């Protein structure tokens, strides 16, 4: 599904220089690479602030805590996004409510939102799933009259942009993950939140570091230690200039899959700047048979994600009454094909041949 050694090999000289910069500076936490990375990410996204943290899940949790309006306690999210928002919201002490997704985009269905919103809901999370920029404006138009904040999960869509602007700039705040397989991946864990609100950025900076509003001065309760370390900041700065071309390559791979797929297999398209081709997902009438066929041709597959959040064993008892027909049906039929920027053309050809011969 991926081979991280290829990007490391391709970028070895630049990565060695980045590592050496950190050693030479002897700043290992929140030093110059960290400061520069935050500024570069904010510029890429078109937000006033970027606050780097230790992982994408931390970014989600701290973002929810920094944006939840006083007196509200419910987070609304789609249930098909891998459970990260659910984990973050529960760790932040919030209740989670689920909304169904659109059958075409697999992103939150703005029309379904009205049924789950009430005065307890404080934040709606829009996840840009598989690399596709979701319709944030439609979600905002439902939420804002009710005083509900909208935030983005951009973990799978860094670099995507639509007429509304780049993802990460279109709501109250946005979370990013730099897990190594992401389109912009670190060599370890990392995350960030972008926002154009001075107030939200200030809360995030305090929450990520013990609640400090000054050194050794705890001004915000409930802080923790979640920092992006200096080496990862240097790695991400090194890799950011390659992001646009790599996103283009990923889209090109998915385009080939779309062109050749046999009937009974629908490859989700990844066209234009509004999609960065993070995952090549197909919807198959008979998933088991498609996976068997691909695996017989030595092509690995995966499922993102097999268990919707409300059916996860850790908390499904709380959601016994919840039914999300589109989410549940898609979870039975989706399959992910290999797609990463360093795939060779032979490898892409092999996947295409297997898709065409199904
Ligand atoms: C959509 C989405 N949100 C959040 C995360 C969490 O990021 P992390 O693994 O860095 O905690 C991930 C990936 O892992 C993700 O794909």
Going from N- to C-terminal start, the domains of the chain cover 4-241, 243-356
Regarding the beta carbon of 155 and ligand 1, being less than 6 Å apart is answered yes
How far, in whole angstroms, is CA 34 from its chain's centroid?
21
Question: Given a cut of 90, is residue 85 above it in pLDDT?
Answer: yes
CB of 55 shorter than 6 A to ligand 1: yes
C-alpha 256 – ligand 1 centre gap (Å): 27
Residue nearest to atom 8 of ligand 1 (CA): 56
**Ligand 1 pocket test target in 179, 182, 189, 305 with most atoms within 8 Å of CB:** 179
- Annotate 308-343 with b (16+ C-beta within 10 A) or e (fewer): bbbbeeeeeeebeebebebbbebbeebbbbbbbbbb
Q: How confident is the model at residue 144 (pLDDT cuts 50, 70, 90)?
A: very high
Cβ atoms of 211 and 174 closer than 8 Å: no
Give residue 51's pLDDT. Answer: 98
Task: Report how far residue 253's alpha carbon sits from residue 345's, in angstroms, rounded to the nearest whole number.
Answer: 9
Structure tokens, 166: 């780049």
Say what the pLDDT of residue 287 is: 96
CB-based contact 207:223 (threshold 8 Å): yes
What are the contacts of 202-208 at 24+ separation with CB within 8 A?
Answer: 203/65, 203/66, 204/51, 204/53, 204/62, 204/63, 204/66, 204/173, 205/51, 207/62, 207/65, 207/66, 208/51, 208/53, 208/54, 208/58, 208/62
Query: Is residue 107 pLDDT above 90, yes or no?
Result: yes
- Cα separation, 18 vs 238, whole angstroms: 7
Nearest-atom index, ligand 1, CA of 84: 4
Binning the chain into helix, strand and coil, the percentages to the nearest 5 are: 40, 20, 40
pLDDT tens digits, 3-27: 999 999 999 999 999 999 999 999 9
* Tokens 């700039």 found at: 169
- Residues 22 and 230 sit within 8 Å (Cβ to Cβ): yes
In the block, which residue shows the tokens 């639509």? 162
Between the CA of 18 and the centroid of ligand 1 the distance, in Å, is 25
Closest CA to 133 of 15, 273, 309, 338: 273
* Dist CA 330 CA 288 (whole Å): 14
**Residue 354 banded pLDDT, cuts 50, 70, 90:** very high
264 alpha carbon to ligand 1 midpoint, in Å?
30
- What is the C-alpha to C-alpha distance for residues 236 and 25, in angstroms, rounded to an integer? 17
CA of 89 to the centre of ligand 1 (A): 13
pLDDT, residue 220, reads: 94
> Ligand 1 centre and the CA of 224: distance in Å?
19
CA of 356 to the centre of ligand 1 (A): 32
Q: Which stretches of the chain are assigned E, i.e. beta strand?
A: 49-53, 74-78, 95-99, 121-127, 149-153, 161-162, 165-166, 173-177, 191-195, 212-214, 217-218, 265-267, 280-284, 334-337
Q: Could you write out the DSSP letters of every residue in 75-134?
A: EEEES-STTHHHHHHHHTT-EEEEE-B-TTT-SB-HHHHTTT--TTEEEEEEE-GGGBPP
CA of 304 to the centre of ligand 1 (A): 12
Give the CATH class of 4-241.
alpha beta
Among residues 81, 133, 132, 139, the alpha carbon closest in space to that of 110 is found at 139
State mean pLDDT over 87-99: 98
* Reported confidence tier of residue 264, pLDDT bands at 50, 70, 90: confident
Is the CA virtual torsion 273, 274, 276, 277 positive or negative?
negative
Structure tokens at 24: 């030479």
Query: Residue 157 C-alpha to ligand 1 middle, in angstroms?
Result: 11
Site to substitute for ligand 1 among 2, 56, 108, 191, most atoms within 8 A of C-beta: 56
User: Which residues, 6+ apart, have CB-to-CB distance to 50 below 8 Å?
Assistant: 37, 38, 39, 41, 42, 192, 193, 194
Q: What is the pLDDT of residues 283-317, one digit of tens each?
A: 999 999 999 999 999 999 999 999 999 999 999 99
CA atoms within 13 A on the CB side of 173: 29
- Site to probe by mutation for ligand 1, drawn from 52, 54, 55, 57 as the one with most ligand atoms within 8 Å of Cβ, is 57
Averaged confidence pLDDT in the chain? 97
State which CATH number among 3.90.1150.10, 1.10.540.10, 3.40.50.9100, 3.90.230.10 fits the domain covering 243-356.
3.90.1150.10
- Residue 262, pLDDT > 90, answer no
Nearest CA to ligand 1 atom 10: 56
Contact status, residue 34 vs residue 230, Cβ threshold 8 Å:
yes
Residue having the nearest C-alpha atom to atom 15 of ligand 1: 155
Residues 175-221 pLDDT 10s:
999 999 999 999 999 999 999 999 999 999 999 999 999 999 999 99
């Amino acid at each position: 599904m991926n081979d991280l050694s290829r990007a490391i090999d391709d970028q070895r000289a630049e990565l060695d220089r980045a590592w050496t910069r950190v050693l030479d500076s002897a700043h290992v936490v929140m030093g110059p690479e960290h400061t520069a990375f935050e500024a570069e990410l904010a510029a890429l996204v078109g937000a006033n602030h970027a606050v780097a943290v230790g992982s994408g899940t931390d970014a989600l949790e701290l973002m929810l805590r920094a944006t939840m309006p006083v007196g509200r306690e419910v987070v609304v999210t789609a249930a098909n996004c891998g459970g990260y928002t659910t984990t973050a919201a529960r760790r932040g002490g919030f209740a989670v409510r689920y909304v169904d997704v659109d059958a075409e985009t697999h992103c939150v269905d703005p029309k379904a939102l009205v049924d789950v919103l009430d005065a307890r809901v404080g934040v709606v999370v829009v996840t840009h799933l598989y690399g596709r920029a979701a319709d944030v404006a439609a979600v905002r138009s439902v939420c804002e009259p009710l005083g509900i904040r909208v935030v983005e999960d951009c973990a799978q869509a860094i670099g995507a942009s639509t007429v509304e602007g780049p993802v990460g700039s279109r709501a109250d705040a946005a979370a990013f993950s730099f897990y190594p397989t992401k389109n912009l991946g670190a060599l370890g864990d990392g995350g960030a939140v972008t926002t154009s609100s001075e107030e939200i950025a200030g809360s995030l900076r305090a929450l990520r570091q013990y609640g400090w509003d000054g050194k050794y001065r705890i001004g915000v309760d409930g802080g923790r230690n979640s920092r992006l370390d200096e080496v990862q900041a240097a790695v991400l700065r090194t890799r950011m200039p390659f992001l646009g071309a790599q996103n283009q390559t990923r889209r090109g791979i998915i385009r080939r899959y779309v062109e050749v797929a046999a009937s009974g297999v629908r490859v989700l398209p990844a066209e234009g700047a509004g999609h960065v081709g993070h995952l090549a997902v197909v919807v198959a009438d008979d998933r088991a048979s498609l996976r068997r066929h691909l695996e017989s041709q030595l092509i690995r597959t995966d499922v993102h994600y097999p268990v919707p959040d409300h059916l996860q064993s850790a908390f499904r008892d709380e959601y016994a009454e919840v039914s999300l027909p589109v989410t549940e049906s898609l979870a039975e039929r989706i399959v992910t094909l290999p797609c990463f920027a360093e795939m060779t053309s032979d490898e892409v050809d092999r996947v295409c041949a297997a898709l065409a011969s199904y």
